[in-house]
Amino acid sequence: MTQEHLNQVAAAVNAVKAKGKINHFYLIACGGSKAFFGPAQYIFDMETEIPATIYSSNEFVHRMPKALGKDSVVLTCSHSGNTPETVKACELAREKGATTIAFSHLVDSPLWKAGEFDVHYNTKDEADDSNGRDAMLYAVVFGILNAIQPNEKYERAIKCVDNLPKLFAANKEKYAARAQEFGEKYKRATILYTMASGANYDVAYSFAICLMMEMQWINSSAIHSGEYFHGPFEITDYDVPFIIIKGLDECRPLDERAHAFCKKFSKEITLIDAEEFDMDGVCDDLKGYFCPLVAGVVLRDYADTLADHRGHPMSVRRYMWRMEY
């Protein structure tokens, strides 16, 4: 990370440390930025007794949690920094006295100005991806944990963040051929289901609503592996395509069970098993926390190759940014 990025992380972490008392972590965003917070919520849930909740920005604005106040920490994210609902949520949280941390690619954006402590990140297309969104979020999350309840585990996690660029490159290469096969096979698919649980569920959610529905106009839905047997498994058939992500965290048994049933009846399963990931540079007891980041990179490549085979660029929109809504 650059010194500027390190300084931004340190400022946010030190502000949380200085609070002394924290009653709640609120993670607020929309769409892909909301999904981005999924692994962070999982980490907070597993590592601290302080509750952490993800909200869609506009819902947070309209149902303002009663517990929100000076003892709260609010993390927000908008890639453009211009998402009106997220800006409003951040402004309201700050008015309530909460410590607000805003993640954005665009410096001096409305969200940047609304947040008390701002964290910039680079995009995957920029030269220095050591300052990417995933790296910045994990640096803040594990930095906060180490500040409020010091543990060498969190110090190791922060060091693992430095390995993310190498980790992403290795797994993109490892899955490149499979991504091409996926794109060729499903270029005319009219529906795709993505299934996961635990720290990986929001990776599936982001793939479904952002990469497939928003960017490819393919009917899609994310199914929680634990909820599969409580309704969704009735649509399973030989020609119904599923992407199943098997994680390395405590919820892997849910993914195993869903996969075991699904493969009995569907011949269209794309399995992404984190046990196959190249996790070099990540400590064994932290792999469950880091594999959603790798799964996200792998699935993005699957989506990019699908877009290529479909002749439908990922940047094309019908409504978004093209009209008032």
Give the contacts of 59 (CB within 8 A, at least 6 positions apart). none
Which residue has better confidence, 108 or 1? 108
pLDDT at 312: 96
With a cut of 80, say whether residue 124 has pLDDT above it: no
Helix extents (H) in the chain:
3-19, 31-36, 38-47, 57-62, 84-95, 110-114, 133-148, 152-161, 164-185, 201-206, 215-216, 252-265, 287-310
What does the pLDDT look like over 228-237, one tens digit per residue?
999 999 999 9
Tokens of 6: 């390190």
**Residues 1-5: what's their mean pLDDT?**
87
Using one digit for the tens of pLDDT, what is the confidence trace for 77-88? 999 989 999 999
Give the residue-averaged pLDDT of 51-59.
98
**DSSP state string for 135-151:** HHHHHHHHHHHHHHS--
- How high is the pLDDT of residue 55? 98
Asked whether 197 and 254 are in contact (CB, 8 A), the reply is yes
Nearest to 133 by CA among 119, 143, 114: 119
Handedness of CA 21, 54, 111, 2 (dihedral sign): positive
For 259-287, what is the mean pLDDT? 97
**Which residues lie below 8 Å from residue 284, measured CB to CB, with a gap of 6+?**
none
pTM given for the model:
0.95
Copy the structure tokens of residue 191. 């529906």
| 267: Cβ contacts below 8 Å, ≥ 6 apart | 238, 239
Q: At what angle do helices 287-310 and 38-47 cross, to 10 degrees?
A: 170
DSSP string, 110-133: HHHHH-SEEEE-B-TTSS-GGGBH
- Say how far apart CA 273 and CA 261 lie, in whole Å: 16
Report pLDDT digits (tens) over 295-322: 999 999 999 999 999 999 999 999 988 8
Q: 207 Cβ partners below 8 Å, 6+ apart?
A: 194, 220, 222, 243, 299, 303
Question: How much is the average pLDDT of 133-155?
Answer: 96
Task: Please tell me the distance from the alpha carbon of residue 52 to that of residue 96, in angstroms, as a whole number.
Answer: 18
Nearest C-alpha neighbor of 269 from the set 255, 254, 279, 249: 255
User: What pLDDT score was predicted for residue 125?
Assistant: 63
Identify the CA nearest to 173 among candidates 45, 301, 2. Answer: 301
The structure tokens listed for 26 are: 């609120």
Q: What does pLDDT average to over the chain?
A: 95
Percent of the chain with pLDDT over 70: 98
State residue 209 phi and psi, 5-degree precision. Answer: -85, -30
**What does the alpha-carbon distance between residue 193 and residue 205 come to, in Å, rounded to a whole number?**
10
Closest CA to 172 of 216, 124, 214: 124
Rg (CA), the chain: 19
Question: Which domains are assigned to the chain?
Answer: 3-161 (3.40.50.10490), 178-310 (3.40.50.10490)
Residue 72 pLDDT > 60: yes
